[in-house]
Chain A
Amino acid sequence: MTGRAETPATADTGWRRLAGDFAESPPAVVCLGLVLLILGLAAAAPWITPQNPYDLAQLDILDGRLPPGSESFAGVPYWLGTDAQGRDMLSAILYGIRTSLLVALSAGALAFATGLGLGLIAAYARGTVDALIMRVVDLMLGFPAILTTMILIVVLGRGTDKVILALAVVQWAYFARTARSAALVEVEKDYVAAARGLGASHGRILLRHLLPNCLPPMIVVGTVQVANAISLEATLSFLGIGLPVTEPSLGLLIANGFKYLLSGLYWISVFPGIALLVMVMSINIVGDQLREVLNPHSSR
């Protein structure tokens, strides 16, 4: 018998050990802090921003194109400058992050649920069902995501809900593949056989036994895919086929400032760009560290 069996009954619960392992990488902890900060700022945007950048009554065209650090006509400081319409960039970025995150998280949740369901069913049913689902997955993974989303938006039409749907369509396959491979390992374990011996229904085995045990790798894929969704949506918005202008995301902000970039008004484009970069990068680093922590093969 190995030491593993002798784990004292008072040992740490799984979560505490996970937290300890996660903290072994200081950059990941910093990034987790950043992600939480960004989430907090995005959630609180309507209450903490100096102005509502999309309430035209609050904008003053005379404040347009002010460089960072200048003050408004009324004496309010614009820390990150203003755009052509006199919109405070800091407020616009916080609102943009809010929109970007909302779209990416909704798309991620939709893709997560679809992929998890189909992946579990494929692994549990095997045979024709499995082959059918996995061939669709292969097909989806074979197309470049940006191309598929563009085609989908052309077909579906524009709108926030359409963008969310398009992003979910290109992302569910990653979740399905991960869920299937995790479930294939779990379904062979004896606790599944024991549940069958006790007369558990297929639904019960899928939901009570397989699903909870397939979640850890799905969470890793989930974080990485949310970061991907943010960049994808930013790309679409930058190209002008993403979110409507009434709900500007970071991509649209970057696109708006793009035409002023060469005339020296760098802040309109660069600050939203930095916000996007920091957000996507920190989510990815958190995801990488989660993978390290949750993968039993890499644990010491």
Chain B
Amino acid sequence: MTDPAASAPLVEIDRISKDFVQRLDVAGRLARGLGLDVRELRVRALDDVCFTIGAGEVVGLVGESGCGKSTLGRIVAGLMRPTAGDIRIDGTSRAALSGRDALTVQMIFQDPFSALNPRMRVRDIVAEGPRINKTVPGRALPALVDDTLRRVGLDPADKGRFPHQFSGGQRQRIGIARALAVRPRFLVCDEATSALDVSVQAQVINLFLELRTDFALTYLFISHDLGVVEHIADRVVILYLGRVIEEAPTEALFAAPNHPYTQALLSERPRLEAKGRAFKPVAGEIPSPLAPPPGCHFHPRCPHALPRCRQEVPVLRTIAPGRRAACHLNDGP
């Protein structure tokens, strides 16, 4: 396990915020002009998100759907611009990376059916990155494609086929090969195994672990599946409604979750020894991001909520070496 503070981090996520604004249409602007109370819909998908990922580390990003984890993944991968804040890769701002340097970060997508262009052959899908960026001479391209396909466990003989001729797991491998063909150092895996059935899921996770050593990769592994994250991640970051509420090494987190939300999430996790135990979901629903509750976002669902939680946003503070949590309960009596 790498201590992110000890070695220089490969990826720094520095105070990232992202707002989605639904702009007013003509009718809306007219209504506002006439003095009606019509406002732009503004959703704060990410609020001051801050953490780092060390070289060679696997960081799991966990949260319910709608908490902003995919948005963060896309911002880190450079597919979306943050409203505020900066992503730094090896000390250089993500936005300043161009050409071949920008290939350092690649993304693996959730849905293997929409992630591959259905009208391109596998060899063209895998060769696209090197071809665009001329990372290898044209002569070396077929060899690179064959080698990359072999490394992800596919038969290079199938490279003339189209994506629809492969199964979900194989397609996910093609997506991984496409990313690896440009030799990235950092992969953002956005629910990369969620769309696969359990046996295939295990194979793909093992593939990720193999590739980690083969290619010296660093991962941001986004998932809602705690079991998968526990297996693959060195460190876990928990996101709730756009804010980081807890960050801890995997073992420590699963042994002793600090934040009430993390505790609730972990107690929900299906376990073999939990036979006969009544399933008790986290009370209430995730609040609408359009009107997030004031203070601590979690207070309406929190069994320990204090009056203070309704007003004051808890700060993410270090509670132990390598562990941070954002909860007023940590401030002690």
Contacts and interface: CB of A to CB of B under 8 A. Distances in A.
Nearest to B168: A5
B133 to A, nearest CB: 6
Contacts of B119: 212-213
B interface, size bucket: 35 or more
Summarize A's interface: helix, strand, loop or mixed: helix
B128 interface: yes
Interface stretch (B102-110, B255-263, B291-299, B311-319): B102-110
A208 B109 CA distance: 20
Contacts of A189: 114-115
Contact of A5 (B78, B120, B167): B167
B48 interface: no
B196 interface: yes
Given A198-B128, A198-B133, A191 B79 contact: no
A198 B168 contact: no
B112 to A, nearest CB: 8
Contacts of B103: 198-199
Contacts of B178: 194, 198
Interface of A: 1, 4-7, 9-11, 13-14, 189-191, 193-201, 204, 208-209, 212-213
A14 B164 contact: yes
A112 B109 CA distance: 33
B333 to A, nearest CB: 49
Contact of B164 (A7, A10, A197): A7
Nearest to B165: A9
A203 to B, nearest CB: 11
Contact of B132 (A7, A190, A200): A200
B136 to A, nearest CB: 14
Given A1-B200, A190-B115, A199 B109 contact: no
Contacts of A209: 117
A190 B109 contact: yes
A193 B79 contact: yes
Contacts of B195: 1
> Which of B128, B166, B178 has the largest count of A CB atoms less than 10 A from its CB?
B128
